[in-house]
Structure 1
Amino acid sequence: MHDAIRAWLEPRADEMVELLTELVAVETENPPGRDLGTCARLLRDAMTRLGLAPEVIELAPSGELEEPAVVRGTAGAGEELLYFHGHFDVVPVQDRGQFTLERRDGRLIGRGTADMKGGLVSMLYGAAAARELGLLGDGRIVLHLVCDEETGSVAGAGHLRAAELADPRAVAMVTAEPSGGRIWHEACGAISLRVDIRGREAHVGQANTGVNAFAHLLHVARPVEAYAAEMAARDNMVVVGGLAGGGSNFNVVPGAAFFTVDTRYQPEEDLDAELKRLTGLIEGAAAEIGADVSVEVTQLQPPAGTSPTHPAAVALARCVGEVEGTPARFERCEGILDIRWYAQLGIPAFAYGAGRLDVSHGPAEYVDEAALHRCAAVYASYAATMLGGH
């Protein structure tokens, strides 16, 4: 089976690079979420050529997202169901040249090559290989490609959940996040907050009549910084002030200020309790000085995980080991992943991809071309194992 999969993929190596080149050139930076419809249609056309029966599901307007959409495709027609999941939005570039793919010394360099347009190419060709080679038995792969993972995936994956397009009876789900060839079977939970402080503007010549929102911000943020230090000692990450701002001019007492709080919690933490504690710290500090403060919860995402001993995990590890030639490694992802949307339904869910996390959002983002092909082979092999009984 593995020889047949490799033989199917090898003559299509240049096709895979050409598709990735086209995908990278679509500037799907998120935020703000531009050119999403353009990329969705490009994926639809590629999936049509590969026989993956795509449809573009147009989503309701959401924030700044341009033409938000989910691309859904299918390989096979049986009852057993395996999900391949991915996203086509990317983080903002450091340089516009990152939207031009460079093929050099076995690497494909450009924004999204690792996270995760390269992974999408591997998944599309892996699914097509499994279908063309008759490996799916009485099963089918359903592909879900979403548009907003980099900003929480509430519009895209959230729509799949709300519209009941994710079937709890599925045997497994895998997403092509840049795990560097490891299997991420767990992911952290997340809380994100925006804290707004209202004061009263006054010109510097009458500063005593104003209420300085920035001074209140400093007081309110101090206990959150102490909380961040405490959380770090428990292997939880908290960023205070990732975004911050306020004021209208250098010579005016600021009448408004804000800062953000972003967190990543290990799966054993109680997110509801931590949210209550965080908001309590902020509200308590505000009460001490009579500050006018409001807290908006912009993200609350639970952790997710599947045991490495689950049969679906064991099968994925075997496929990875057979293709890569080395034993598969299970790890916890220190970020949040779209596996949570499926795990919440009881579906065994994993992230496995060719890209590397340490280069994914940087100025020299790349994926190894050979790793892209190996991952495509793993996806085809996993489909054959889970659906075709190979």
Structure 2
Amino acid sequence: MTLATRIQEWVEPRAEEMAELLEKLVALDTENPPGRGLGQCAAYLYEVMDRFGFAPEIIELAPHDQLEEPRVVQGRVGDGPRLVYFHGHFDVVPAQSRAQFTAERRNGRMYGRGTADMKGGVVSMLYGAAAARDLGLLGDGSIVFHLVCDEETGSDASSGHLRRAGLIDTSALAMVTAEPTGGVIWHASRGALTMRVELRGTEAHVGQAHLGDNAFQHMVNVAAPLNALAKELLEKRTAFPMEDEAAKGSMMVVGGASGSGVNFNAVPGSAWFSIDRRFNPEEDVDEEIERLSTLIHSAAEASGTTASIEIVQRQPSAGVDRAHPVARLLAGSVAEIEGTAPPFELCPGILETRWYAQLGMPAFGYGAGRLDVSHGPGEYVDEAAMRRCAAVYAMFAAKAFA
């Protein structure tokens, strides 16, 4: 009997257990923003991991924005010195309907908020680690869990805390996160830069508009060259593989959020807009900040005003060579379970892998969910794919600790 068969024969009889756990996780409303119910979900995950014998620990975090009882759930499987991190998040994006918090099973799929991104992935990781332990595959290694609570809003409170507090062991062999890759391995991800740009004017009653200085008009004038740059960036191409050629462009959205803060019957004295930049691994974040800042200040001066710029988010890109030995181990694990070698691709967004990659650790995204249904009203995960993914995680642990 092959190892792949042994692992799958351990996982498959637990199909109903896995589905029941996912149903219970979906029912816990952890919408972020605002970040509700995080403490309750962390407590439940602690109970689940304790039943598994994973030595769980709750790491309480400092208050952050609107997050309710922000927590990280940490656990460990095995007692060997060599480490692999299984990283997941239990917050979800806001639902389109409250009905999404009642999981529904249809035609081999589980529908509901977070099934794909990524409570289904958390279930796969838990059962994958349990399979690796029960089948004696850990050798001299250990799997360490980090389940975080604010990935959907940047993860600075949770993953950022792990990094700042030195709770990520830089000698670990690898990190894997169960993002909804649909069977693809994400070996790289974009970086993120978010700016808030405010333009100043002079407020005045609309009946005496000649006495005012319209900040909204200044905003339009400053946004124009930025929109032109966004089109130019979209024509660039990353060397990293992606299924959609058009998605290889370097992304920037101008005005994803904006406002003037005054009533309709007044000339606005201030106006602001956002810039959301997703840059490819070949691009440097400091160079992007300098380029955008120079363009903004120049356009504001030409419009006859000044601009203030706030850096709201600054996250680096991350990438691992597909030829890296750990990348080959993960790809080989997928091939043995799925029967075909997986493609490697650049994630179109940012990933939790960045917190580990910054420490020199090979880090990857791989999960059963699909990105094209994540965050949408019909979000689902294929239950058989979720079980195969658990088997992949167990196989990867076996290979890593061989």
TM-score, normalization: structure 2?
0.94
**Deviation at residue 164 of structure 1 after TM alignment:** 0.7
Alpha-carbon displacement from aligned partner over 1:186-236 (angstroms, at most 9, x marks no partner): 111111111122333222122222222211111111111111011101110
Alpha-carbon distance in structure 1 between the residues aligned to 2:90 and 2:270: 36
Query: Which deviates the most, 244-253 or 306-315?
Result: 244-253
Taking the aligned partners of 1:341 and 1:233, their CA distance within structure 2 comes to 29
- Aligned partner of 2:216 in structure 1 is 214
Aligned to 1:332: 346
The residue matched to 1:357 in structure 2 has which SS? coil
* Amino acid aligned to 1:18: E
Q: C-alpha offsets along residues 127-166 of structure 1, whole Å, 9 cap, x if unaligned?
A: 1111122210111000001111111111111111111111
Between 360-369 and 8-17, report the one with greater CA deviation: 8-17
Which sits farther off after the overlay, 305-314 or 250-259? 250-259
Q: Which residue in the other structure is 1:42 paired with? A: 44
Distance 1:257 1:28 in 2: 33
2:222/2:303 contact within 8 Å kept: no
> Hey, what does 1:290 align to over in structure 2?
304
Aligned amino acid, residue 370 of structure 1: A
Q: CA deviation at 1:94?
A: 1.4
1:247 deviates by 3.2
1:350 aligns with 2:364: yes
Letter in 2 for 1:252: A
Shift of 1:292: 3.4
Q: 1:257 Cα shift?
A: 1.7
- The question of whether the paired residues in 2 share the 8 Å contact of 1:115 and 1:355 is answered with yes
The counterpart of 2:21, out of the listed 16, 19, 25, is 19
CA contact (8 A) 2:77 2:129 kept: yes
Tell me if 1:264 matches 2:278. Answer: yes
Q: Residues 308-344 of structure 1, C-alpha deviation per residue, up to 9 Å, x if partnerless? A: 1111111111110000011121111111111111111
Tell me which residue corresponds to 1:94: 96
State the SS of the aligned residue for 2:372: helix
CA RMSD between the two structures: 1.1
The amino acid that maps onto 1:54 is P
Q: How many residues align?
A: 388
Q: In structure 1, what residue type is equivalent to 2:271?
A: A
**For 2:332, which of 315, 318, 325 is the aligned residue?**
318
- Quote the Cα distance in structure 2 between the aligned partners of 1:247 and 1:79: 56
The residue that corresponds to 1:203 in the other structure is: 205
Structural mapping, 1:1-390, within 5 Å: 1-234=3-236, 235-387=249-401, 389=402
Which residues of structure 1 form unaligned runs of 5+? Answer: none
Contact 2:59 2:73 in 1 (8 A): yes
Shift of 1:25: 1.4
Identity of aligned residues (%): 63
CA offsets per residue over residues 267-292 of structure 1, 9 Å max, x none?
11122111100011111111112323
- Which amino acid counterpart does residue 293 of structure 2 have in structure 1? T
Q: Please give the alpha-carbon distance, in whole angstroms, between the structure 2 residues aligned to 1:138 and 1:247.
A: 60
Moved more, 290-299 or 39-48: 290-299
In structure 2, what is the Cα distance between the partners aligned to 1:41 and 1:201? 51
Unaligned 5+ runs, structure 2:
237-248
TM-score (norm 1): 0.97
Distance 2:392 2:89 in 1: 19
| Counterpart code for 2:163 | R
1:30 and 1:282 mapped to 2: Cα distance?
Answer: 31
